[in-house]
Amino acid sequence: MSKITREDALNYHSSGRPGKIEVIPTKPHSSQRDLSLAYSPGVADPCLAIQENPEDAYKYTAKGNLVAVMSNGTAVLGLGDIGAVQGKPVMEGKGLLFKIFADVDVFDIEIDRKDVEGFIEVAKAIAPTFGGINLEDIKAPECFEIETRLKAELDIPVFHDDQHGTAIISGAGLINALELVDKKIEELKVVVNGAGASAISCAKLYISLGIKPENVFMLDSKGVLNTRREGLNKYKMEFVRDTDAETLEDAMKGADVFLGLSVADVLTPEMLKAMKRDPIVFAMANPNPEISYEKAIAARDDIIFATGRSDYPNQVNNVLGFPFIFRGALDVRATSINEEMKIAAVRALAEMTKTDVPEVVNLSLIHI
């Protein structure tokens, strides 16, 4: 695939009808009778039925197949806090992916509230519309409290994809990469560059998969989370380690795995050369990775290298997970997406890469 330019991207989004999603009626609407059933007076009867039994909202409305993609624009891709409406193209893109891959309908909801209580208030107020909520591009540590509170206070699935989607997909990639290099997960030294929502969630899931906590070294913008650091929030404190390492260069010495969820161009060829044999490098800063594909491949011929981009080989991208996780949750009317479901998704994705692609999937992709 050819490189995507700024002009390509802007033209794609502005050509024809601006944006990427629309609402399409699902019932006949060509006659006066159709319209009388769709709205007044016919619409009153399903309203009354739902009043008698609120669960009938799943029978008479689109609630059961409708997900809210909610964001306040405080952590958009690798662009940072750019604002709610400024992040709308991402949320619309999420809606497009939900639809084409899992036939899940989406309303993108950009909430202009940076405070936790304000965001939660808005989310809870509109939650009755939806069968599930996908939280997106909300900065840490606020995102942790928002998700925890909404999961506890709502009876529909709430899933912060930046955290758990990234963890699930990269976890599946890690399992298969370890098979290729013949390394044991409990013996790995892992360097996580980034200490935001995605990084912390990935590290936690990796530990659930078998990596020893003491072998996970995390860095934020100020360096390694070690015992000399002060003023860290409670989420970062979980990953403080007693180590002499201060910088990324220090941490990379003897590492088996690098997980990048930070910013572009912080990883050098020299750092890659300091890693152990057959290094596994997931450089997933978005839109540009911590080191380019070209530089990484040139630095080591034994490297397993992946990014979040579709124009490089070995893409580790959340689209492999979130549409189908929500599809399953909606279909069984799940009230939450729990840890067991996430681990099951990791194992299933890892195994799926080793099977033939069904013909029905190949045919469907032709028409996308």
Burial class (CB in 10 A: 0-12, 13-18, 19+), 137: buried
User: Where in the sequence of the chain do the CATH 3.40.50.720 domains occur?
Assistant: 166-307
pLDDT of amino acid 78: 74
Residue 108 vs residue 163, higher pLDDT: 108
Looking at 39, 59, 222, 253, which residue is catalytic?
39
Homologous superfamily of 13-156 in CATH? Malic enzyme, N-terminal domain (3.40.50.10380)
- Tell me which CATH code domain 166-307 carries: 3.40.50.720
The whole-number average pLDDT for the span 302-317 is 89
Q: How far apart are the first and last CA of the chain?
A: 16
The whole-number average pLDDT for the span 313-336 is 92
pLDDT of amino acid 145: 95
pLDDT of amino acid 228: 97
Q: Which amino acid is located at 138 in the chain?
A: I
Residue 362 has pLDDT above 80, yes or no: no
Beta carbons of 72 and 85 less than 8 angstroms apart: no
Beta carbons of 123 and 153 less than 8 angstroms apart: no
- Does the active-site annotation cover 39? yes
Beta carbons of 155 and 223 less than 8 angstroms apart: no
Percent of the chain with pLDDT over 70: 97
The whole-number average pLDDT for the span 305-326 is 89
Beta carbons of 78 and 37 less than 8 angstroms apart: no
pLDDT-based confidence at 363, cuts 50/70/90?
low
- Does the active-site annotation cover 253? no
Residue 261 has pLDDT above 60, yes or no: yes
| 257-260 vs 105-110, strand pairing mode | unpaired
Question: Rounded mean pLDDT of the chain?
Answer: 94
DSSP symbols for 66-127: EEEEEE-SSSBTTTBS--TGGGHHHHHHHHHHHHHHH--EEEEEE----SHHHHHHHHHHHG
pLDDT of amino acid 15: 95
CB atoms within 10 A of CB 217: 23
pLDDT of amino acid 79: 85
The whole-number average pLDDT for the span 342-368 is 79
Burial class (CB in 10 A: 0-12, 13-18, 19+), 10: exposed
DSSP state of 212: -
User: Where in the sequence of the chain do the CATH 3.40.50.10380 domains occur?
Assistant: 13-156
Beta-carbon contacts of 367 under 8 Å, excluding residues fewer than 6 positions away, are none
CB atoms within 10 A of CB 300: 17
> How far apart (Å, rounded) are the C-alpha atoms in residues 342 and 321?
10
- Whether the bond between 89 and the residue before it is cis, its omega within 30 degrees of 0, is no
Residue 27 has pLDDT above 80, yes or no: yes
133-165 pLDDT, tens digit per residue, is 999 999 989 999 999 999 999 999 999 998 899
Beta carbons of 218 and 199 less than 8 angstroms apart: yes
- Per-residue exposure over 61-71, b if at least 16 CB sit within 10 Å of its own CB, e if not: eebebbbbbbb
Looking at 94, 151, 236, 342, which residue is catalytic?
94
Beta carbons of 225 and 232 less than 8 angstroms apart: yes
pLDDT-based confidence at 85, cuts 50/70/90?
very high
pLDDT-based confidence at 1, cuts 50/70/90?
low
